[in-house]
Amino acid sequence: MPYINVGEKNSGSIDLYYEDLGTGNPVVLIHGWPLSGASWEKQVTVLLAAGYRVITYDRRGFGQSGRPVTGYDYDTFSLDLHKLITKLDLRNAALVGFSMGGGEVARYLGRYGSERVSKAVFISSVPPFLLKTADNPEGVDGSVFEGIKKALAADRPAFLSAFLADFYNVNLLGGKLISSQVVQYNWNVAAGASAKGTFDCVSEWGTDFRGDLSRIEVPTLVIHGSADRILPIAATGIRTQKAVKGARLVVIKDGPHGLTWTHAEQVNHELVEFLGQKDLQAYVSGSSGVTSENKGEKNEKQ
């Protein structure tokens, strides 16, 4: 199995597990908390069929990657991504971040620029700034993050079970767009992650990405569900689209946080269409609107 070394800690190395599949322009898929690169299952096969080279990796502390007790911050996460991109010598790459992974996309572009990157995609993502402050009244009170950490410390497996129920809006979509087996599989992956990493990442959800987003100069797509209970669209997706020059927002009607599974067909359609866009100037000039996606039908909101 392929690994990349991103550092050393005590007597061991910190290695990230990754998969590098297919040929063509590279697409790097960055997973959300508390899952792994395997969560992109429904996107990988479609992107490969569309002729892309697809790279997934497990964030430090998660999946099959190393589990150090430090480094669970976005500066380190973006450095890990930078090392992966450099090792594989990726050029003209598209960075696609889901949920917490959207933070890596923002921080990477903010710190390292777009020399190796051609496009950016934020799916159900955490930017621009989730923490409520004096200059960010739209954010979430810090007590919410502290409550999550307290619940994780008390009973991490039980918290993850409740979290995944809201992740997929199971009470509404269970047995229809998401099976109990998929939820259980996700729980297995989440429960198998580093307890320390799982806990420490929660504080990073309050990272301020506004400066990073203002530096993005590549075509950008934002996909978000209208029924996201984890990262409500009003506090995240809508604001991210406004913060990135020329970005386009696609709203998946009734989509939960985990819409890469429940609404995979719609997400994949938008993703492949965006990645295949040749006339970038036409894309940018037509990106000021919001597309509402419902059962594959799109309506432009003026």
Q: Which residues are catalytic?
A: 99, 228, 257
DSSP code for 38: G
Buried b (16+ CB within 10 A) or exposed e, 65-81: bbebeebbebebbbbbb
- Within its chain, how far is the Cα of 35 from the centroid? 11
**Cβ proximity of 4 and 83 under 8 Å:** yes
**Cβ proximity of 71 and 14 under 8 Å:** yes
Exposed/middle/buried for residue 207 (C-beta within 10 Å: 0-12, 13-18, 19+)? buried
Exposed/middle/buried for residue 59 (C-beta within 10 Å: 0-12, 13-18, 19+)? buried
CA neighbor of 193 nearest in space, from 160, 150, 155, 230: 160
- Give the HSE-up count for residue 168: Cα atoms under 13 Å, Cβ half-sphere: 28
